[in-house]
Amino acid sequence: MRELLEYLIKGITGKEDFSIEEASEDDKVTYNVRLAPDEIGLVIGREGKVIKAIQTLMRVRGGKENLSIIVNVSEKEA
């Protein structure tokens, strides 16, 4: 699933300069995506539509494996 998230973020930003941290607990997986400040807006989108779409895709994919998926976006530390 991490590969799907990487593919989506690369496609949206056009860059590979981001990091994804994965944390698992039982049947819950949290992905923390860290991006440059100017790329966060692209990933969140107007009114959060892009990040909601990403979360929906990840939840559908996780549902096949009975996993709850959460995707968070934050600024990459310098």
Q: What domains can you pick out in the chain, each with its CATH number? A: 2-75 (3.30.300.20)
The burial class, CB within 10 Å (0-12 / 13-18 / 19+), for 59 is middle
Q: What digits encode the pLDDT tens for the residues 31-68?
A: 999 999 999 999 999 999 999 999 999 999 999 999 99
Residue 65, SS3? coil
Confidence at residue 29, expressed as pLDDT on a 0 to 100 scale: 96
pLDDT band, very low/low/confident/very high, at 77 (cuts 50, 70, 90): confident
Q: Kindly state the average pLDDT of the residues 22-29.
A: 94
* pLDDT at res. 78: 67
Alpha-carbon span 13 to 16, nearest angstrom: 8
What is the rounded average pLDDT for all residues in the chain?
A: 94
Length of the chain: 78
Confirm whether pTM is higher than 0.85. yes
